Amino acid sequence: MTAKQEFLALLDLMNEDDMKYALELLKDNFALRRRVASWDDIEEIEPDESDYALMTKIENRLEGYGEHVSQEQLLKKLGL
């Protein structure tokens, strides 16, 4: 028996209330699959000590990089 045949057989056994419930479950399931995720779906949490330590480490590395060099200047400096 195919999945479609099995599904249709189950529908024949359901009463009207069961059918309405199953229909809502299917609608909700497909609506969730089609829904586009957004930033609003992500839970916002407060950073902990390890997060702050990582941010400090990144900030300290960025400060030590010096001035900006364009691609053209870099190629000239490298002799390319």
| Tens of pLDDT, residues 40-80 | 878 899 999 999 988 888 877 766 555 667 889 889 989 98
**Of 4 and 34, the one with more pLDDT:** 4
Provide the pLDDT for residue 18.
93
pLDDT of residue 65: 59
* Residues shown for the chain: 80
The structural domains of the chain, with segments of one domain joined by +, span 3-34
Let me know: does 14 contact 22? Beta carbons within 8 Å: yes
Terminus-to-terminus CA distance in the chain, angstroms?
Answer: 69
pLDDT at 47: 93
Residues 8-24 have pLDDT tens digits of 998 899 999 999 999 88
How far apart CA 66 and CA 72 sit, in angstroms, is 17
